[in-house]
Amino acid sequence: MAGRVEIVEVGPRDGLQNEKRPIPVAEKIALVDLLSRAGFSRIECASFVSPKWVPQMAGSAEVLAGITRAEGVRYAALTPNMRGYEDALLAKADEIAVFASASEGFSKANVNATIAETLERFEPILKAARHIDLPVRGYVSCVTDCPYDGPVAPAQVAHVADRLFAMGCYEISLGDTIGKGTPDSVARMLLAVKGVVPVGRLAGHFHDTSGRAIANIDVALALGVRVFDAAVGGLGGCPYAPGAAGNVATEAVAAHLKRLGYDTGLDLDLVAEAAAMALAMRQA
Ligand code: HMG
Ligand code: MG
């Protein structure tokens, strides 16, 4: 065995948030319940953002209330501000995620704030979470390219990752939001970020828009990253990132890692079942 690699399942959040059809809460719950049996330790299934901005995530509290929580699985929610944090606590999220951008254009489009303003909003969230031992994950979006600003400098990604880590985020997930990263640009970005955040605290979050997500995962693996976000069925995208179709598919990443000899602890038959369910949700 080449060692352990964790896949964080983000399909019920990043996967579904961009779907046009309003997906009934019961369908989301069924997907999360199936995923809960597949061996994931972390499933991102909620987002306490403005329903005006992302209508699909409006039922997040109902999803968290309706799922059957499996032992050893942490159910995560995105929180853009204190209001989202409080809603996530009420809904009993096991962990939360704050999200910032490495580029100003995407920051403005996604959360109507500058990078600096976003980081300021996170300070009280991290402080409150620390008091109750609630794990907080930090996302950095547009780590190689931005749909508005173009190529993003590795130093800028390192700066935002460093701030989130210093604030207390236990892990920094590096998002190639629009799937434009190449093995070369991902490597340059990771080398910069590794200089400020230990590689054991980094995760790769690749969208497969250009079909390079697996190649980018390989580069990240070679540089020591051992956690990757993925969405069953390759669902996904970000409503404020034109062209950000499709997180890399969990089933493809799991199969690839298995071929390389890594242990993900996942039941690949159940992952395939969940992928089929996710795709059916898209087509319904
Ligand atoms: P705003 O319009 O600048 O702020 O939105 P506001 O304070 O004026 O609030 C607007 C309305 O939203 C108000 O309601 C607030 O009460 C309400 P109104 O008075 O108009 O009726 N509001 C909220 N409602 C529910 N929950 C909340 C909340 N906060 C305010 N937490 C805001 C600012 C941040 C709220 C907005 O821009 C927003 O919700 N953005 C979220 C966008 C989003 O979710 N994007 C997708 C996730 S990021 C992503 O997918 C990337 C990632 O996958 C990594 C990668 O791929 O790179 C993570
Ligand atoms: Mg994403």
pLDDT tens digits, one per residue of 142-167: 999 999 999 999 999 999 999 999 99
For residue 263, CA distances in Å to 4, 154, 224 come to 5, 30, 15
Binned at pLDDT 50, 70 and 90, residue 104 comes out as very high
Q: Which two tokens stand for residue 135?
A: 């794990």
Atom 32 (ligand 1) nearest CA:
111
pLDDT in tens, 32-72: 999 999 999 999 999 999 999 999 999 999 999 999 999 99
- Exposed, middle or buried, 218 (CB in 10 Å: 0-12/13-18/19+)? middle
The pTM for the full model equals: 0.97
Ligand 1 touching residue 206 (CB < 6 A): no
Q: Are 96 and 78 in contact, with CB atoms under 8 Å apart? A: yes
**246 CA → ligand 2 middle, Å:** 8
Instruction: Give distance in angstroms: CA of 227 to centre of ligand 1.
Output: 27
What is the C-alpha to C-alpha distance for residues 110 and 207, in angstroms, rounded to an integer? 17
pLDDT at 239: 65
Q: State the closest ligand 1 atom to the C-alpha of 99, by its place in the atom list counted from 1.
A: 58
Question: pLDDT for 161-218, tens place per residue?
Answer: 999 999 999 999 999 999 999 999 999 999 999 999 999 999 999 999 999 999 999 9
Does 111 contact ligand 1 (Cβ within 6 A)? yes
What pLDDT shows up at residue 22?
92
Helices 268-283 and 25-36, axial angle in degrees (round to 10)? 170
- Beta-bridge partners for 78: 47, 97
What is the position in ligand 1's atom list of the atom closest to the CA of 176? 57
Kindly tell me the burial class for residue 284, based on how many C-beta atoms sit within 10 Å of its own C-beta (0-12, 13-18, 19 or more). exposed
Residues with CB under 5 A from ligand 2 (ion): 14
Q: 142 with 177: CB under 8 angstroms?
A: yes
For the residues 252-277, what does the mean pLDDT come to? 98
Residue nearest to atom 29 of ligand 1 (CA): 50
Report the separation in Å between the CA atom of 233 and the middle of ligand 2, taken as the mean of its atom positions. Answer: 14
